Structure 1
Amino acid sequence: MKHLVVLTGAGMSAESGINTFRDADGLWEGHDVMEVATPEGFAANPELVLDFYNQRRKQLFEVEPNQAHFDLAALEKNFKVSIITQNVDDLHERAGSSNVIHLHGELRKVKSTLDDNDILPWDTELILGDLCKNGHQLRPHIVWFGEAVPMIEQAIAICETADILMIIGTSMQVYPAAGLKDYVPENTPTYFIDPKPNISSKNNLTVIAKPATIGVKEVFDILNKN
């Protein structure tokens, strides 16, 4: 069974109603990303940051996986599928994908401010005074700017074994995630799906300038014919 590695970004979830991480003006849901997505921002105004992620978590329960999520899950019938996502939502899992790595953390989890490995499931509001078992404040399980990406080594190892690569809804310009494509074996068939691609088709690279739901269906049909 061939190993299909899928790299997904904000464009994967956009058609489900989840806004892309940040707009061209550098704002995320009206907030400066430095205020809500850095350790310094959390230290300066923890209540603002906790409320920001509470709103994102609440939004997550108001949306559903889109057809692209379901098509990726269905590919597990004929392929070994590994999804490496920059998204913090759980839409891949809710659509049925069984092997998902979240590079930038997960909205439905929190962790101790003392121990990054003390991670808990969390579906309600997180407030000041919510503590880990050792008495330290809990924070969103999100990889903020300036923090290490703990799953990157595992993601690299997965990419090194890819037979097919699919990149969906990401410009592949945010590192270290952007570097993952460089670990895929040379000449691996690659499909790049994005409505506004920043690259063109060549050799083993097929660029599909369409939204995720349409582009993934096209690749789904191509792969299942072969």
Structure 2
Amino acid sequence: MSVTSVSEVARWFGEAEAVVVLTGAGISTESGIPDFRGPQGVWTRNPAAQHLFTFENYVADPEVRRQAWAARLASPVWTAEPNAGHRALAEFERTGRLRAVLTQNIDGLHQAAGSSAGLVVELHGTARETACLECGDRLPMAEVLPRIETGEADPACLECGGILKSATISFGQQLDADVIEAAVAATRGADLFVAIGTSLGVYPAAGLCDYAVARGTRLVVVNAEPTPYDGDAAAVLREPIGEVLPRLVAAGAR
């Protein structure tokens, strides 16, 4: 890590022809969605909650599914609004030099802020849809949650009777190979790779930083806590995301 100046990183935003960003939970905490691993994270405060996010448990145990559906119904995702960080990236897209938003988040706030759906690569899926584990049928989550409210604690697929789940990737569940390839392809074409609000401890998402650095792409980390990639980064910024991203974008909007 050789540079920590916001003004210097802003200059890089202005010079770059192909910017790719990787976002994690930290960009959405300012919208009221808690992260998982941070000091006030969901799993930090309640380690037992992790069992709801394990695919094997979800498939095998109806009680886990009932608890998971109750948690989905109460999720802050449904009332959260995009914050200044999300809006800054949507604004930067208008320059034509933001090539992809690779996100570990499942909340859909990038799209809600105005980022083009075709530019957002949801590495871990989306909470805004459901998927049947048997037939693959997908529905908007908004069509399924009312069934929970009316007493279906573990709603089944209306097409085949199979197990329904949010269209997200749980621990032990295989990632979509096409999604990962899209992320790698976007990273391959970047001359500036910016990791925002992510601990960079979850793979294969964190491995995109390895790929970028190996190709000689300049890496910037914007995160409140240290990450394993700080030593590989050309710059590490600790400022609040909602404050620093608008500054970087404003400088880069040439």
Alignment partner, residue 169 of structure 1: 197
Normalized per residue, the structure richer in helix is 2
How many residue pairs were aligned? 221
Q: Which residue of 1 aligns with 2:94?
A: 77
In structure 1, how many angstroms separate the alpha carbons of the residues matched to 2:173 and 2:183? 17
Structure 1 residue ranges without an equivalent (≥5): none
Alpha carbons 1:113, 1:136 under 8 Å: kept: yes
- Summarize deviations over 1:183-216 as a string: whole Å, max 9, x none: 22633232211122335477x7121111211221
* 2-structure distance, mates of 1:23, 1:189: 26
Identical amino acids, percent of aligned pairs: 31
> Contact 2:29/2:35 (CA < 8 Å) preserved in 1?
yes
Kept in 2: contact 1:26–1:32 (CA 8 A): no
- Where does residue 133 of structure 2 map in the other structure? 113
Flag the structure with higher strand content: 1
Pair 1:64-2:84 in alignment: no
| SS class of match (2:31) | coil
Which residue in the other structure is 1:101 paired with?
A: 121
How does the TM-score come out when normalised to structure 1?
Answer: 0.87
Alpha-carbon distance in 2 for matches of 1:174, 1:201? 17
Confirm or deny that 1:155 pairs with 2:183.
yes
Cα deviation, residue 31, structure 1? 5.8
Match of 2:28 among 6, 13, 28: 13
Q: Is the 8 A contact 1:5 1:162 kept in 2?
A: yes
Aligned partners of 2:108 and 2:126 also within 8 Å = yes
- Can you list the C-alpha shifts for 1:70-110, whole angstroms capped at 9, x where unaligned? 00000112123310111110110000000111111111110
1:129 aligns with 2:148: no
Q: Which moved more, 1:71-80 or 1:122-131?
A: 122-131
Q: Distance in 2 between matches of 1:197 and 1:23?
A: 11
Match of 1:87 in 2: 105
Q: In the TM superposition, what is the alpha-carbon distance from 1:180 to its structure 2 partner?
A: 1.1
| Partners of 1:3 and 1:163 within 8 A in 2 | yes
> Comparing 98-107 with 189-198, which one deviates more in the overlay?
189-198
- Which residue pairs with 2:43 in the alignment? 27
Q: Label 1:170 to 1:28 Cα distance change in 2 as closer, same or farther (>3 A).
A: same
Alpha-carbon offset, residue 160 of structure 1: 1.0
Matched, 1:186 2:222: no
TM-score relative to the length of structure 2? 0.78
Alpha-carbon distance in 2 for matches of 1:81, 1:72: 11
Q: Do the aligned residues in 2 keep the contact of 1:111 with 1:118 (CA within 8 Å)?
A: yes
Structure 1 residue 28, shift from structure 2 partner: 6.7
- The runs of 5 or more residues in structure 2 that have no matched partner are 1-15
Q: Which residue of 2 aligns with 1:47?
A: 66
Native 8 Å contact 1:104 1:142 kept in 2: yes
